[in-house]
Amino acid sequence: LAKTTQPISMDSYEGQEVNITCSHNNIATNDYITWYQQFPSQGPRFIIQGYKTKVTNEVASLFIPADRKSSTLSLPRVSLSDTAVYYCLVGEGNDYKLSFGAGTTVTVRA
Amino acid sequence: EPEVTQTPSHQVTQMGQEVILRCVPISNHLYFYWYRQILGQKVEFLVSFYNNEISEKSEIFDDQFSVERPDGSNFTLKIRSTKLEDSAMYFCASSTRALTGELFFGEGSRLTVL
């Protein structure tokens, strides 16, 4: 499993864009990059997944440079309800054992 | 929207008792997982299950733990003799594809061992 490193916490204000960068220097060829969100006492929720370049969905964008050694989750115009822990996971194509790191606690203030 | 459902939402048990946590994965999913999260700590992988057998398990998943898919819909985690340190939130997850990591998690079952 590729080891990931992400900031422990980030603070933001409503309406701002939040960018969380995850480092995964030993990412393998078959690895995908996936981000999850977790609210207190709830199960993690899938946000976005990508392999290379840029992926965008209705809630976030994921930027992956050509070397794939890092990735950045971008949350546009956050609201108070986006306060949560965000996890970056990197996993091989046929490896079911996806474990979560410490994650980044994002706190959005009014 | 299809979802993974877990029961019970909270269970309190005495140390040494057996506990069974139940999960109903999303119906067309083929891969099933259990994770746990001790209060204030990270989400830890326990076990993955595919084609009626364990695919992978972590060091946490020792002989006290077992998983089963007794019928076409349920996926269970059994802890044979609970310890105080088994107190945690247990999350079930399921997915359609082995090639990527898109997991759908349930809301969790909180286990309190006294």
Q: What is the pLDDT along chain B (114 residues), one digit of tens a residue?
A: 779 999 999 999 999 999 999 999 999 898 999 999 999 888 999 999 988 999 889 999 999 999 999 887 899 999 999 999 999 999 999 988 765 657 899 999 999 999
> Mean per-residue pLDDT for A45-65?
94
- pLDDT over 90, % of chain A: 71
**Chain B residues whose beta carbon lies within 8 Å of the beta carbon of residue A38:** 43
Q: Which of B55, B98, B102 sits opposite A46 (nearest CB)?
A: B102
A43·B58 Cβ contact <8 A:
no
> Mean per-residue pLDDT for A53-74?
96
Residue A92 pLDDT level (bands cut at 50, 70, 90): low
Judged against a pLDDT cut of 60, whether residue A93 lies above it is answered with: no
Nearest CA in chain A to B47: A97
**Chain B residues whose beta carbon lies within 8 Å of the beta carbon of residue A94:** 98-99
How far apart, in whole angstroms, are the C-alpha atoms of residue A82 and residue A73? 13
- pLDDT over 70, % of chain A: 91
pLDDT of residue A90: 86
Residue A51 pLDDT level (bands cut at 50, 70, 90): very high
pLDDT of residue B99: 58
Judged against a pLDDT cut of 70, whether residue A1 lies above it is answered with: no
Q: Which of B58, B89, B101 sits opposite A89 (nearest CB)?
A: B101
The 3-class SS string of B47-113 reads: EEEECCEEEEECCCCCCCEEEECCCCCCEEEEECCCCHHHCEEEEEEEECCCCCCCCEECCCEEEEE
**Chain A residues whose beta carbon lies within 8 Å of the beta carbon of residue B88:** none
Q: Which of B45, B50, B107 sits opposite A42 (nearest CB)?
A: B107
A7 and A107 Cβ atoms separated by less than 8 Å: no
A107 and A18 Cβ atoms separated by less than 8 Å: no
Judged against a pLDDT cut of 60, whether residue A71 lies above it is answered with: yes
CA distance A92 to chain B (A): 7
